[in-house]
Amino acid sequence: MTSLQGWFIKSGFERLEDQEIIQLLLSLALSPRKATKLAKECKERFKNLRGLLTASPQDLEQAGISQRGIFCIELMREVPGEFLKQKIIGKPVYKSAQEVVDYLDYSMRDIKKEVFKVIYLNSQNQIINITDLFKGTIESIPIHPREIVEAAIKQGAVHLIFVHNHPSGDPTPSKSDQQLTRDLVFIGNVMQIKVLDHVVIGDNRHFSFADAKLIEKYENDFLNMKIKSVLQAEQHQDSD
């Protein structure tokens, strides 16, 4: 065991620099000497620990990291997200709102492509499951409302929360984001599956359609459209 490993067992990451943490991580796959040398090179290339953890496997390989080392880095990146996810499964979303945000922020903030997640909830607003339903390019993401509804029925969900990230870091919803959310609220009303929110994740900030009162607006739009349709049908019957 190296002195650095001994320090970590005793004190965790306290007073450790990024390069030393990277060295500890690489020591899982390399000899202490090689880990020390490569950690310095990785610090120069990726700037910090976050840069290393968000690098693609291709970039890691180009930096001279072995497949075993890449596996260790990928594992370290995914385990905290899975831990945060398991903390919120089965909990009422209104009681674990910050934990949900923490999970989403960690799992989505550094993704280079857009990912569309769906949070499925039961009638008590307990989280049943969280899945990545669609993945797209950095410019766009193909969303298929029919698949969303089919997946919700399969999960036995009665409430839904949609989440996607903006790789640009700016969570401001685009016009297509707004139109999609409106369509999903309308479809949800038809299928009796309520949309609670659509959250856009940016760089350490997010946008909530519910907080902005847009979900409520879309609900009212649907109700007004339904009322208008009923009135038109009644007028048509009277004219006959």
In the chain, CATH 3.40.140.10 covers: 92-231
Which of these ranges, 13-27, 29-43, 106-120, has the smallest mean pLDDT? 106-120
Are 104 and 117 in contact, with CB atoms under 8 Å apart?
yes
Which of these ranges, 21-25, 110-114, 170-174, 179-183, has the smallest mean pLDDT? 110-114
- Give domain 92-231's CATH superfamily: Cytidine Deaminase, domain 2 (3.40.140.10)
DSSP letters along the chain, please? --HHHHHHHHHTTTT--HHHHHHHHHTTTS-HHHHHHHHHHHHHHHSSHHHHHTS-HHHHHHTT--HHHHHHHHHHHHHHHHHHHHHHTTSBGGGSHHHHHHHHHHHHTT-SS-EEEEEEE-TT-BEEEEEEEEE--SS-----HHHHHHHHHHHT-SEEEEEEE-TTS--PPPHHHHHHHHHHHHHHHHHT-EEEEEEEE-SS-EEETTTTTHHHHHHHHHHHHHHHHHHHHHHHHHH-
pLDDT of residue 236: 64
62-78 pLDDT per residue, tens = 999 999 999 999 999 99
Judge whether residue 140 has pLDDT over 70: no
Judge whether residue 112 has pLDDT over 90: no
| pTM check: above 0.85 | no
Cβ atoms within 10 Å, residue 86: 10
Judge whether residue 137 has pLDDT over 70: no
190-238 pLDDT per residue, tens = 999 999 999 999 888 889 999 999 999 999 999 999 888 777 766 666 6
pLDDT of residue 139: 57
Cβ atoms within 10 Å, residue 210: 14
Are 63 and 22 in contact, with CB atoms under 8 Å apart?
no
Judge whether residue 181 has pLDDT over 60: yes
pLDDT of residue 234: 65
pLDDT of residue 111: 84
**Which residue has tokens 């038109």?**
232
| Radius of gyration, CA atoms only, the chain | 23
For the segment 19-38, the average pLDDT, to the nearest whole number, is 95
147-157 pLDDT per residue, tens = 888 889 999 99
